[in-house]
Chain A
């Protein structure tokens, strides 16, 4: 496990370097473009440049960047003039709630559907499940969000149109929580439907591979009922890759919610990204990019460790 942790740390270092140099591709002067068209005294611009450290040689900037990043200082947002770190930290809970709920539901429902599809391969159940999820998987997730929004918040307004709480509401405690859940429903439904397909397909093909194995015939020969064979012998073997996928996915879904959060104005990292794009608020984008990458690295690591724990064939 120590070796895996080291590998992950190295990858993070790579991301750090990559992140820094990525944003140096832009030849434009960000401060200048921020104030384009406005009359700002040159001295102010110079001061701002100095404040953002943009007048130093590249290597110095890089070392400064590394030091500051490791201390949690990710710069100041061009748009809000607030520390990037603060903005990001404020946005994290909303995204975790949304992505967490969606990931859990899509994993559970998707896996179950995948099991049914594989066990009843080539029946109408299989075909309808596979086709249905393929359709959802083939549409832009934010477009699905738009459809659901119009259907259930405009035409038949049982859900709110956006945000995390009703504007101007001063509810607290349980009332606040209920209001938030009410707002959470549609975006979570959108993401769940969008990610369902992957779980269905992976579970289905994994289980189909297992179903070809001899030990299932042996299990039947022992006199076990079909259900027990499935539950005790087939599914545990089939689930190993699915578990890994779930963990890895969590890291990626974090950034996959960007467009959906934009549609629902859900105040999380995704919306922050969408807003930062309109600047472009480069410090924000840089900080968000770092966070998204770190999340992926972290969850890949978790996935590796979990798999090693679950599969007795993996030697330590």
Chain B
């Protein structure tokens, strides 16, 4: 069995704010095999976007990042600046959420897609960059003429496609999609999702898909991990985790969102009450117990570890 493309061990991220240190990610570990796909789900504030940023060391200066991140055989967290820059976008690239400000307002989208190609010298010159950019635009469903457009001239869905094209500019091995369908309407969401799975097949990409909407992940991902309060609290094969979740939080999360294509689920959402804890202010014991319908005495005082829950899954709950 070959090495996994991405291997994360005990990753912890602590922000330093005026109000004190905030542990956004607390000891996360997982592996991602080459060609596989991992979905990472959780509500806002659970640390998933921080995790994505940590993988390529994109977090603000002064943030503590501990642990180990091995991407394509290289230990990302200890690379020198030059090595880090070389790895970025070529080994792993991020498809950011397509808000207007993920793109530079004063550059054309063609320039922004070509830029990494020229920086990493994956093309021989400007002309080749232009050709490749246009073919990438075509592949994501945009006319080549849009290369001269500015970000504010595109719709939300178009901008998301541009970000996908841009992420593919240097043929990365790993593609991390951070909330790529949020803020898009349902029809466009479906289009973007199918585009991503097609691209994965074509280019044999390894995909990591981050979202708060669990239903989006069901068909796209081989494995599914659920995060809560900075840790992974359930992990396993995608379909099983969704259909028969072991952890009460996952069950609540799955019920909260309508499944794409399944109208009945839209009519009976059984969401989660309450709010997720703020990272600096965790309740004692299992961080979910204040909102958990099955909470009991034994949920305190210690935080449960991940334990096997059958069917290749693990969950961090004492009930497992």
Contact = CB atoms under 8 A, between A and B. Distances in A.
Interface of A: 213-215, 217-225, 228, 233, 236-237, 240, 311-313
Size bin of chain B's contact surface? 20 to 34
19 contacts: A215-B101, A215-B103, A217-B96, A219-B104, A220-B88, A221-B58, A221-B94, A222-B89, A222-B115, A223-B90, A223-B120, A225-B85, A228-B119, A233-B104, A233-B107, A237-B105, A240-B106, A311-B106, A313-B152
Contacts of A236: 106
Contacts of A312: 105-106, 150, 152
Interface in B90-127: 90, 93-94, 96, 99, 101-107, 115-116, 119-120
Question: DSSP class of A's interface residues: helix, strand, loop or mixed?
Answer: helix
Nearest to A225: B85
Contact of A222 (B88, B103, B107, B150): B88
Nearest to B163: A218
Contacts of B94: 218, 221
Interface string B121-152: 00000000000000000000000000000101
Contacts, number: 62
A93 B284 CA distance: 76
Nearest to A215: B104
B86 interface: yes
Contacts of B115: 222, 224
Nearest to B104: A215
Given A218-B96, A313-B152, A224 B119 contact: yes
Q: Which of B56, B87, B115 has the most CB of A within 10 A?
A: B115
Contact of A237 (B96, B106, B119, B150): B106
Given A233-B104, A237-B106, A222 B152 contact: no
Interface of B: 53, 56, 58, 85-90, 93-94, 96, 99, 101-107, 115-116, 119-120, 150, 152
A233 B151 CA distance: 14
Contacts of A224: 85, 115-116, 119
A221 B93 contact: yes
> 10 closest Cβ contacts across the A-B interface?
A223-B88, A222-B116, A223-B85, A312-B150, A215-B104, A214-B102, A222-B89, A223-B89, A214-B101, A213-B101
B96 A222 contact: no
Contacts of A215: 101-105
A233 B86 CA distance: 19
B302 to A, nearest CB: 37
A237 B103 CA distance: 12
Given A223-B89, A223-B120, 16 more contacts: A213-B101, A214-B99, A215-B102, A217-B53, A217-B96, A218-B94, A221-B88, A221-B96, A222-B119, A223-B119, A225-B85, A237-B104, A237-B105, A311-B106, A312-B105, A313-B152
Nearest to A223: B88
Nearest to A226: B81
A279 B128 CA distance: 72
B56 to A, nearest CB: 6
A54 to B, nearest CB: 56
Contacts of B104: 215, 219, 233, 237
Contacts of A214: 96, 99, 101-102
